[in-house]
Amino acid sequence: MARTFGSVLHFRSLSAAATPSEFLFPVKPLAGSLKLGSSRQLFPCFTSVPRQNTCRLTVSAGAATLKQAETEQFPVDVLVTETKLPHSSVKLSVEVPPAISEECYRKVLGEFSKRVKIPGFRPGKNIPENILVNYIGKQQIQNTTIEAILKKTLPNATSKVKGRALKDSIRIDTKFSEMDESFSLQDFFRYDVLVDIAPEVRWTSENGYKDLKIVVEIDNAITAETAAEGELRRRQKSLGALKIVTDRGLQVGDLVVIDIFATTVKEDESEGEKIPSAETKGFHLDTEECDNLLPGFIDSIKGIRQGETKSFLLTFPESWEQEHLRSVCARFTVVCKEHFYRDFPALDDSLAEKLLPGCTTVEQVKETILERCREVEQNAKEQATDNAILDQLSKIIEVDIPQSLFEEQGRELYGAHLLQLQASRKLDENQLSYLSSEKAVKDYLESQKEKIENVIKQMLAIGEVFKRENLQLSTEDLVKEVENSVAEFKRHNQEYDEERVKQQVQEILEGAKVLEWLRENADIQYIYR
């Protein structure tokens, strides 16, 4: 496999043995990427973003973790009624007979009796119930009894969804206060549990994923030749000496170090709130490489000199990544701290070795760069093919997506998005803190709902094809990629879990296998524009 899938596609098993929640978020970012087979495939690494702990299931402080409790066989039945809910979720209504509540109550009394020291009673001595209850407190004993009942009965109750439940999606829906208020040793103890289950994939077309007809659009604007020319210029530019500009204003081609401040503008043209994500200090701007800047920004600062300040209005376009800024008018204030231009060296054979080690002539440099750009062009074509296949898959399946899976995948996508922002904009500490806030994450989940759902559909479709076509992975390839990934972690002195790494590598290789199968079996048409 040679490409990333869609934007970021994390192939994931949906069995009961799925990823433990400690690996969902926060996660240790993968060291760079998992390099698969050729250089074409890169597995995205994720940064940690806030996560509400809704999947890990524990009772109140001091109680054992419920998910670690073993399933027990009871002399009387725990009654469990399953009700189907939207989003591939079920509600388990649990009724615990009084006999089990009484057993748990007696065990709690026995444990307290062993641990507490009551004047007049030797340690370990059986203490009369009324004295023990008065000493410990009725409420404390009742709370501990409820916790014991939950610990004892929950594994047995959730065995009804064994093999269907998504790992760490089990959560008790009934409030502890409600259980406490209705508790009685003479009556059934009742509580509800919500569980997300593996969603069913339904193909909307008769032949499903077979006989796919795929149209792939290829952008002809940037060819290998134009890309090679740009790369040669960048290499030549990197060898040029930076010189301070003192006698003129900023021109395209210069490099400046600037501070940027931004505020929204109200209808009466007065200043509104600050825009933290648009502000930065000490920003190094190469005016020839500024594709990620707001349209009109470069034109607005042309002519600025070192030490000068410019203020201007710009409107964020409708296509801006951050939805809350789209169509927002903002006032930018830019302070020019430093101003440089590059003195380009002459492009002759004496420069060849510096431009590209191993080359002796400029012509050889050009040929080598062009060859590499042609490889990139081919990879881009194959990436576009895979993206078109994945897009088609998401359109021909129906699936009721569990909320826990939506949030997990959405947060992983947002983590990758933050890494891209950090790499392209060099976010400062305040910006990163703002973008990592729970509010920013939730805004992203809401604004990118359709995108996240499509990625999940693609992920589920890939898994379904792998299973239906009985595709197999090479053990040798799996072992090799795991070893490469582990070596990458060690090289960066990062902690890792080998089983988790193995699972991630296996998921990626499975995805690669499916896309390879689909490319061979689909009717693919290329349109150049």
- The 10s digit of each residue's pLDDT in 450-485 is 999 999 999 999 999 999 999 999 899 999 999 999
Averaged pLDDT for residues 7-23: 30
- Specify whether 379 is located in the same domain as 518: yes
Is the per-residue pLDDT at 280 higher than 70? yes
Angle at the Cα of 412 from the Cα atoms of 411 and 414, rounded to 5 degrees? 60
Query: Of 343, 376, 409, which marks where a domain is finished?
Result: 343
SS3 149: helix
The predicted pLDDT at position 289 comes to: 82
Percent of the chain with pLDDT over 70: 85
Give a yes or no: residue 235 inside a domain.
no
Query: Does 57 map to a domain?
Result: no
pLDDT in tens, 27-83: 222 222 222 233 223 223 333 333 333 332 223 322 333 333 444 555 468 999 999
Contact at 8 Å (CB) between 412 and 46? yes
Residue 205 confidence (pLDDT) above 90? no
Same structural domain, 329 and 375:
no
Closest CA to 191 of 261, 114, 255, 96: 96
Considering the domain boundaries, does residue 58 fall inside one? no
Cβ contacts of 150 within 8 Å, gap of 6 or more: 59, 63, 66, 172, 191
Mark whether 383 and 519 lie in a shared domain.
yes
The DSSP element (H or E) to which 94 belongs, if any, is strand 89-96
Kindly state the tokens that stand for 70. 């073993």
Q: Give per-residue pLDDT as tens, 143-181.
A: 999 999 999 999 989 998 988 999 888 999 999 999 999
The verdict on 207 and 192 lying in the same domain is: no
Domain final residue pick, 280, 309, 343: 343
Helix 129-136 to helix 138-158 angle, to the nearest 10 degrees?
Answer: 100
Instruction: Give yes or no: residues 38 and 80 share one domain.
Output: no
Based on the fold, state whether residues 164 and 111 are members of the same structural domain. yes
- Whether residue 3 is contained in a domain is answered as no
Confidence band, pLDDT 50/70/90 cuts, at residue 223: confident
Q: What is the mean pLDDT of the chain?
A: 82
C-alpha atoms less than 13 angstroms from C-alpha of 458 in its C-beta half-sphere: 26
76 found inside a domain = yes
Neighbours of 470 (CB within 10 A): 6
Q: Is the pLDDT of residue 303 over 90?
A: yes
325 and 180 in a common domain: no
Per the DSSP assignment, residues forming a β-bridge with 65 are 58
Per-residue pLDDT tens over the stretch 83-99: 999 999 999 999 999 99
**Same-domain status, 423 and 503:** yes
pLDDT class of 123 with cuts at 50, 70, 90: low
**Higher pLDDT, residue 54 or 200:** 200
Confidence of residue 135 (pLDDT cuts 50, 70, 90): confident
Q: What is the CATH classification number for the domain harbouring 155?
A: 3.30.70.1050
Amino acid at 370: L
- Same domain for 190 and 215, yes or no, is no
Question: What is the domain-level CATH number for residue 426?
Answer: 1.10.3120
CA angle at 86 for the pair 81 and 90, rounded to the nearest 5°: 25
Region 410-420: what's the mean pLDDT? Answer: 89
Q: For residue 197, give the nearest of 50, 73, 83, 70 by alpha carbon.
A: 83
Residues 128 and 250 in one domain: no
Residue 87: Cβ-neighbour burial (10 angstroms; 0-12, 13-18, 19+): middle
Q: Which residues contact 61 (CB under 8 A, 6 or more apart)?
A: none
Does some domain include residue 82? yes
Domain span at residue 107 reads 66-198
**Exposed/middle/buried for 287, CB within 10 Å: 0-12, 13-18, 19+?**
middle
30: tokens are: 């993968």
Six-digit token string for 301: 């600062």
The pLDDT value recorded for residue 420 is 83
- Residues 6+ positions from 94 with CB-CB distance below 8 Å: 78, 79, 80, 153, 154, 157, 190, 191, 192, 193
Q: How do the residues of the chain divide into helix, strand and coil, expressed in percent and rounded to 5?
A: 45, 20, 35
Contact of 59 with 151, CB cutoff 8 Å:
yes
Q: Which of 343, 367, 391 is the last residue of a domain?
A: 343
Is 138 domain-assigned?
yes
User: Does residue 211 sit within a domain?
Assistant: yes
Biggest alpha carbon–alpha carbon distance for the chain: 99
pTM of the model as a whole: 0.61
CA distance 21 to 170: 11
362 shares a domain with 328: no
Q: What is the pLDDT of residues 476-488, one digit of tens each?
A: 999 999 999 999 8
Q: In this predicted model, what pLDDT tens digit does every residue of 356-369 receive, in sequence order?
A: 999 999 999 999 99
Instruction: Report residue 140's pLDDT band, with 50, 70 and 90 as the boundaries.
Output: very high
Instruction: Give the CATH number of the domain where residue 301 resides.
Output: 3.10.50.40
Domain count, the chain: 3
Domain co-membership, 442 together with 328: no
